[in-house]
Chain A
Amino acid sequence: DTGVSQDPRHKITKRGQNVTFRCDPISEHNRLYWYRQTLGQGPEFLTYFQNEAQLEKSRLLSDRFSAERPKGSFSTLEIQRTEQGDSAMYLCASSLEGVETQYFGPGTRLLVL
Chain B
Amino acid sequence: AQSVTQLDSQVPVFEEAPVELRCNYSSSVSVYLFWYVQYPNQGLQLLLKYLSGSTLVKGINGFEAEFNKSQTSFHLRKPSVHISDTAEYFCAVRKDSNYQLIWGAGTKLIIKP
Contact = CB atoms under 8 A, between A and B. Distances in A.
Contacts, number: 56
Interface stretch (A13-21, A43-51, A64-72, A73-81): A43-51
18 contacts: A4-B43, A31-B99, A33-B100, A41-B106, A42-B4, A42-B90, A44-B103, A45-B100, A45-B102, A48-B100, A55-B98, A100-B49, A100-B94, A102-B46, A103-B46, A104-B44, A104-B45, A106-B42
A105 to B, nearest CB: 6
Contact of B49 (A41, A101, A104): A101
Give the bracket for the number of chain A residues in contact with chain B. Answer: 20 to 34
Interface of B: 4, 6, 9, 32, 34, 36, 42-46, 49, 51, 90, 92, 94, 98-106
Interface in A77-104: 91, 93, 95, 100-104
Main secondary structure of the interface of A (DSSP, over half): strand
